[in-house]
Every structure is written in structure tokens, then in C-alpha cells.
Structure 1
Amino acid sequence: MDQLQADSSLEARSEKAHERADAARNRARILSAAQDLVSSRGVDSLTMNEVARVAGVGVGTVYRRFGDHGGLVEAMMNQREHQLQRAITAGPPPLGPGADPVERIRAFLHSYADVLEEYGSLMAPAEAMMPSPRRYRSGPYAVHHRHLRDLIAQARPEADATYLADALLAPLAAGLYTHQRHHDQMSRDRIKAGLNNLISGLQR
């Protein structure tokens, strides 16, 4: 390869790296704008045009990065789930390691209720369309179930931890949570108090 070819190759790689960096920045900016919109104005504000406006990018950029509204929602959920999992594995107690197992269970259930408070209306339709075997034994549910099962086994070694993990996760189905909040007019605090009552059976 002569010098001209080498220079052209380096320039091409540099341009591709720059494009990837721009794409990553745009993706992060769009996701941040989407989360800010949901937090401040609710899920009804989450349109592709409004996300683009808040992010300061063209709406075409939003479509290129995420495909459609469903792709954007999925990316938001994945990011939120990664944040929760990082908090579980390496964050401060009681959600992270270092606390009593029952307190960690409570912290997780309350934290997930907070996720549903913000994103439940977006999660419920996708959850309803997911086949049961896939939902219950793959993806986030499997991670949450394993986390609770291990904590239950620590708190009550004689208990059926596998069954109880399912039982504790059942009230946190997005469809049920949104029904309780919007149809039954239950407050988030009331739901958390109910979760505490369920957890009380694990305390010695």
C-alpha cells in the first residue's frame, strides 16, 4: 500500500469513528430527552416530534436511531432496566449488596414500583403482547426472579423461594399496577404498603 492509499484508509476510518461517536451522542441525547419528557409531562407527551424538539435534533434522526415509537420505548425500557440491575449488583444498600435480605427485597419491590409509576403505561401494552413462557423465563423477569429467589433463600432457607419470588413479582405486572393506579385509584404509597405486608411473612 502506497502512502496515498494509507492516508485515504486512515481518513476513512477516522470519518467512520466520528460518525459512530455522533450517533452515540445523538442516541444518548434522545433517550435523555425522552426520559425527561415522561418524568415531567407523562407518557402522553412521548411523541417522536416532541422528543426530537427537546433533544435538539431533527425528527429524522430520531427515526434513524430507533425506527419508530415502539423502538424508542424499548430502548428507554432497556436503559432503565440496566440502571436498576446496576443498582442491584453494585449500588448502595439496601437496594445494593450489604443490607439484610428482607430489606433488600423491600427496596427492590419499591424501586420497581417507582419504575412502573413512571413507565407502567408504556410497559403494559408490550407486556400484554409477550407470550407467557418468554415473559416469565427470559429477559428482565428472569433477572428479577433470580434476585428475589436468592434473597428469599437467605432470609428463609426452609421456604419455597422459587414460588415466593413469582408471588412477589405478580403484583408488579405493569397491567395490574396501572389498573390499580388509574382504575382503582390506589396511591403508590398504598401499593407499597401492600407489598410490605406481603414481605412481612419473610421476617423471622
Structure 2
Amino acid sequence: MTEARPERADAARNRRAILRATEELLSRHRPEQISMEQIAAAAGVGKGTVFHRFGSRMGLMVALMQERAYALEEAVRTGPPPLGPGAPPDERLIAFVDAIVDVVGRNKGLLAALGHAASSAGRPDLKGHEGDDGDGHPLHRFWHGHISALITARRPDLDGDLLAHILLGSLQSEPVLRMLERGEAERLAGSLRALIAGMFAAPSGEPASGEPAGNSV
């Protein structure tokens, strides 16, 4: 019983080392190009330790995405604006998309790998809670729900649910993943900002946000 506490500390240290090593490898390679042996060597632990903690390569990828995405979720819920509460919906959405691009850019192909696995049968570690409708990992559902809510808050006339799927789906496409591999994350973020600006522009014939409605010339 007295030995349990240091064992937990060792396990936590190993977990952090494995996740750091995985993210470092993912900055240069796609998930399918990385072996558990490479991760163990980079983390300075035995291969058995990696398998014991995470079960499989996909289990490790899920854990890494959870680690990074939960930090982003916490910033959205309680952090300072514009990512956190207090900023207008368009500013919050741009900040959120920038943050997602940063996460995906540092973990190339990880979102696509999770999305593919979530749609495959027999992947209980990527499913949500019982009774879920099959929309994938709960973290992905949080991202989608947050984007959809911000779109609806700014433009209730739009289909926020579908547009959120389109924005997130764009991050899983092969051309976008190749851009990230070439280090073009800022190009991607800039294009997504342009899409958001266009999406939030006032409908034809209506004044833009903040402009008084008056006679058009």
C-alpha cells in the first residue's frame, strides 16, 4: 500500500514522456508511419510500458488527442477571450479555429486518423458514451458543438450544424494534410479565417453587424 504512491508518480512521468515523444514524432510523420518501438525509444521507456499504458498505437493517438484537446476545451470554457467567454461569436470562432489548426498542425494526420477509426466498427475506445449516435469521439463532438453554437449565435439563419461539419471535415482532407506536412499551417488558418468572414458577412440586402439600417443609395 505504501508503494502505490511512487508507482503512480512513475506512471505519470512515463505517460508524459510517451505523449511528448509521440507528439514530436507526429510533427514529422503521419500516425501510420510511427511504430510503438520508435515511440518507446524516443520516450526512453520499454516497448512493453507503452503497450501497457495505451494498449495500441490507436489508443496512444487517442490519449494524445485527449490531452491536447482537453486543454483546448478548458481554454474555451474558462480561459480569457477571444478563445474563452466574453468575445463576439466571430472572434471566438476565429480564435478556436486557429487553435485547432495549431493542434492538428503539431500532430499531423491525427485528426484524420481518429475520424477514420471512429467510423470503423469495433473501436470502443473511440466511441462516446452508451447511447451515442455514432458521431465519433466525444472531443470531436465538443469541437463540432462549439463551432455550431458560435455560428448560430452570429447567424441564426444559417445551418450551423452542417457548416460546423464542413469546417471540421476540411481538416481531414488529403490536400489539407499535405499542406500541414509542408509546414503551411498559417496558410490553412488564413483561408479558414476568410471562410468564416464570408460566412458571417451580412446577408444580401441587410446591414452588416453594427451598421445602422438606412436607405441604400
Calculate the TM-score normalised by the size of structure 1. 0.75
Confirm or deny that 1:169 pairs with 2:168.
yes
Confirm or deny that 1:92 pairs with 2:91.
no
Q: Percent identity?
A: 37
User: How many angstroms apart in 1 are the aligned matches of 2:154 and 2:94?
Assistant: 12
**Residue identity matched to 1:150:** A
User: How many angstroms apart in 2 are the aligned matches of 1:175 and 1:130?
Assistant: 18
Asked if the contact 2:152/2:158 (under 8 Å) is kept, the reply is yes
Asked if the contact 1:106/1:196 (under 8 Å) is kept, the reply is yes
Cα displacement (A) at 1:143 = 0.7
User: How many angstroms apart in 1 are the aligned matches of 2:113 and 2:16?
Assistant: 25
Higher helix share: 1
Cα displacement (A) at 1:199 = 0.9
Asked if the contact 1:156/1:202 (under 8 Å) is kept, the reply is yes
Match for residue 147 of structure 1?
A: 146
Change (3 A) 1:127 1:174: farther
Cα displacement (A) at 1:65 = 1.4
Match for residue 49 of structure 1?
A: 37
1:19-39 deviations in Å (ceiling 9; x for gaps): 233222221222123223434
Change (3 A) 1:105 1:17: same
- Gaps spanning 5+ residues in structure 1: where? 1-12
**Residue identity matched to 1:173:** Q
**Residue identity matched to 1:153:** T
**Residue identity matched to 1:191:** L
Match of 1:112 among 70, 88, 100: 100
Calculate the TM-score normalised by the size of structure 2. 0.71
Cα displacement (A) at 1:181 = 4.9
1:53-87 deviations in Å (ceiling 9; x for gaps): 33232222222212232222221111111122112
Asked if the contact 2:76/2:83 (under 8 Å) is kept, the reply is yes
Asked if the contact 1:106/1:199 (under 8 Å) is kept, the reply is yes
User: How many angstroms apart in 2 are the aligned matches of 1:80 and 1:186?
Assistant: 19
Match for residue 69 of structure 1?
A: 57
Change (3 A) 1:168 1:72: closer
- Gaps spanning 5+ residues in structure 2: where? 121-132, 202-208, 210-217
Cα-Cα RMSD:
2.8
Secondary structure of 2:100 counterpart = helix
Confirm or deny that 1:192 pairs with 2:180.
no
1:121-156 deviations in Å (ceiling 9; x for gaps): 2332342243296236x5122211211122123222
- Number of residue equivalences: 188
Asked if the contact 1:102/1:151 (under 8 Å) is kept, the reply is yes
User: How many angstroms apart in 2 are the aligned matches of 1:51 and 1:180?
Assistant: 24
User: How many angstroms apart in 1 are the aligned matches of 2:42 and 2:117?
Assistant: 30
**Residue identity matched to 2:164:** A
